[in-house]
Amino acid sequence: MSGPGEPPAGGAHPAVEAPPPPARGAPRRTIAVHRAVFAEAGLAEALDRVLGLVVQPGVEFGNRNVIAYRRERAQGLAAVLAEEPKLVFEAHSTDYQGAAPLSELVGDGFAILKVGPELTFVLREALYALDLIASDLLPDYGDRPLLRAMEALMLDRPGDWRRHYDGDAAERRLLRHYSLSDRIRYYWTAPEARAAVDRLVAALAGRRIPLPLIWQHLPGAAHFADRPLEPEEVLIWRLRRSLATYHDACRN
C-alpha cells in the first residue's frame, strides 16, 4: 500500500535536507481511503491481506549526503501502528543508513527496509577497487581501464545521468562515478561495460594479491590476500557485507 510522503524512486537527486515524517493523520487517511475504496468494490477481504504501508520516516539520500533516521521525529508516525496491529510500515529510501539507524527503524515498526542504490553503489565500489588493484599489480593492464570505459560510455549516452547531476564539468565527472544515487547502475549491462568487466575479471583470476595492496584498495578484505583470487567472490562478499546490516537490523 502506497502511503504519504513517498519520495521519487531511487532517492532524491541533489544534496538534501531532512524531510519531515508525515503527521499521524496522513497514514490514517491513507488507510481509511483504501478501506473505503476496497469495500465499495466488494474487495474488503483482499485488503485484509495487506501487511504494509509505504511511508517516509524522515530518511533520505541525495547525490552527496545521507539523512539518518531520528526516531524522536517519527514517534507520531510510529504510533499509528498501535491502532493497526496487522500492519507494519515499509520505510522508503533506507539506503546508506547504517546499523544503528536501521535497528531503530525496525524497532519503531518500520519492519520493511527498502534498499536499492546502496547495493549497486557497493558493487561499483568493489569493481573499481579491483580495477585499481589490477592497475597497480599488472604492468600490461593499463591505468584504470574499467573507469575509463565507463566514463566514455556515460559521456556517449548521457540520458540516464544528465538531468540528475549538477555542478561544473569536474563535479559532474565525479558524480558520474561516485554519486550516492548511483546513476552508473544503468550502464553495467551495455556491451562496452560488460567487456571491460570481463577483461578485469580475466586479468585478476587466479592472481595472488599482496596484503598491502588489499589494504590499500579493499579495506576489510584481507582474507582475499595471498591466495588465488576469484574476483566474483570479492563482488559477492562486498554485497553480502552491505546486506548483512539490513539482515541484522531485522533480527534484532
Tell me the whole-structure pTM to 2 decimals.
0.89
**According to the model, what pLDDT value does residue 15 have?**
67
Q: What is the pLDDT of residues 192-232, one digit of tens each?
A: 999 999 999 999 999 999 999 999 999 999 999 999 999 99
Q: How confident is the model at residue 23 (pLDDT cuts 50, 70, 90)?
A: confident
Q: What pLDDT, in 10s, does the model give residues 90-120?
A: 998 999 999 999 999 999 999 999 999 999 9
* 242 vs 124: CA distance, rounded Å: 13
Q: Is the pLDDT confidence value at 11 over 90?
A: no
Taking the C-alpha atoms of residue 9 and residue 27, their distance in angstroms, rounded to an integer, is 19
Burial 31-53 (b: 16+ CB within 10 A, else e): beebeeebeeeeeeeebeeeebb
Reported confidence tier of residue 78, pLDDT bands at 50, 70, 90: confident
DSSP track, 29-88: HHHHHHHHHHHHTT-HHHHTT--EEEE--S-EE-SS-EE---GGGSHHHHHHHHH-TT-E
Q: Which residue has the higher pLDDT, 192 or 2?
A: 192
Determine the pLDDT at residue 21: 81
Q: List, in order, residues 6 or more apart from 74 with CB less than 8 Å away.
A: 21, 57, 58, 108
Q: Which pLDDT score is estimated for 14? A: 57
- Model pLDDT for residues 121-167, shown as the tens digit of each residue: 999 999 999 999 999 999 999 999 999 999 999 999 999 999 999 99
Query: What percent of the chain is modeled with pLDDT above 70?
Result: 94
